[in-house]
Structures are given as structure tokens and as C-alpha cells.
Amino acid sequence: MNHSKSVETLFTPFEIGNVKLANRIVMSPMTRNFSPNGVPGEDVAAYYRCRAENGVGLIITEGTFVNHPDVVSNQENVPHLYSEEALEGWSKVVEGVHEVEGKIFSQIWHMGARSHVNDYSKQEITELIEAFEQAAVNAQKVGFDGIEIMAAHGFLIDQFFWDKTNARTDEYDESHPFC
Ligand SMILES: Cc1cc2nc3c(=O)[nH]c(=O)nc-3n(C[C@H](O)[C@H](O)[C@H](O)COP(=O)(O)O)c2cc1C
């Protein structure tokens, strides 16, 4: 394997749909807990801008809560993607990243059973889908280049994929073919 050539590839442009990345370096979402009451401030904007300025082609933000009452417990410094103040904060984050030619996706998140609720009625599932949809719309409104849906680590969505955490017998059963 030619290593220098494979490293060079990292620095070549890449397209995801209509999003053009300057290179193939992508920053993983990492929860930071620096957004009091869910509102990302100037320090958060500076943190992401700095990553873009120093060559990250695509930033995926830390997990950001959708608007749902059971989203979480004891995580008051995790940013939200719904209140007016939080959206104003995110628009400044996006602006800063774009100013230095970076791209940024929002990761949207619900902690599901890892917060406190382990059982969802069909009505709640419908509400949750709407909460994710609204978060995606909000991400688009504030100028994010895309979204990533958090669907790992035993949180909501992932908990539906496993027989130990999904005992449903309806169409949301873990064995239901999703694709
Ligand atoms: C401090 C910390 C916070 C993280 N927060 C998130 C998160 O909010 N959302 C997520 O999907 N993954 C999160 N992760 C997982 C990382 O994005 C990444 O997938 C994981 O560290 C594995 O990548 P690695 O093998 O390069 O370390 C977090 C990881 C760390 C270390």
C-alpha cells in the first residue's frame, strides 16, 4: 500500500449530496456540556470555528437535543436545537464556521431509555418522529449544511434495534425489517 498517496487522498475535496467539502477530514460528534440551559454561546462558536480554521473539512456537532419532554435527565448543559435562544446561538456557530470555509452538520439526539423512559406508546413515537423532523427543519433554518441523526450507543432509535431493549410486538418490533 502506498501510504503517502493514501494520506494525500485525505486532503482532496469530497461531495456529500450538494455539500462540497474541501477535504475528507471529518470531526466526530463529541458531547461537551458547555451550553448552559441548552444555549450555545460565543465560546462554543469559537471552539467550532477554530476546528474549521485549522483544516477540518466537515464538523459534526456534539449531540443536540430535539424538543421532547423525555429527551434527557440531568443534562442541562447539552445544547438544544429548538428554543429561540439556542437557535440564535447555533446561527452564530454556523456563521463562524462558514466564514472560514468550513462545513458543519448538527447531530440531533434523544437519550431515550438512557434518560428515563423505556416504554413508548405509538402516540409518543409519532411525537418523537415529529420532534426529530422539527429539529432538522430548525437546523436548516439556522444554516447548517446537514444533519446527522444520533442512532447509536443505546440511545433512542438504537434501543429499537436490539431484542434486549425492544420487547415490542407491533410494527416497531426489533425484528421488523427497516430496509
Ligand atoms: C467525550 C466524547 C463525547 C462523545 N459524544 C458523542 C456524541 O455526542 N455523539 C456521538 O454520536 N458520539 C459521541 N462520541 C463518540 C465519538 O463521536 C466517536 O464515535 C468515538 O469516540 C469513536 O471514534 P474513535 O474510535 O475515533 O475514538 C463521543 C466520544 C467522546 C470521547
Give residue limits of the domains in the chain: 9-161
Q: Give per-residue burial for 19-48: e unless 16+ CB within 10 Å, then b.
A: eebbeebbbebebbeebeebbbeeebbebb
Residue to substitute in 25, 30, 156 for testing ligand 1 pocket (most ligand atoms within 8 angstroms of CB): 30
Q: 30 CA to middle of ligand 1, Å?
A: 5
- What does the pLDDT look like over 133-162, one tens digit per residue? 999 999 999 999 999 999 999 899 999 888
Output the CA–CA distances (angstroms, integers) from residue 26 to 22, 55, 58, 164, 167, in the order listed. 11, 10, 5, 32, 36
pLDDT number for residue 1: 52
Q: Which residues line ligand 1 (CB under 6 A)?
A: 28-31, 62-63, 107, 150, 152
The closest residue, in CA terms, to atom 5 on ligand 1 is 30
pLDDT number for residue 70: 80
The predicted model gives 86-95 an average pLDDT of 98
- Tell me which CATH code domain 9-161 carries: 3.20.20.70
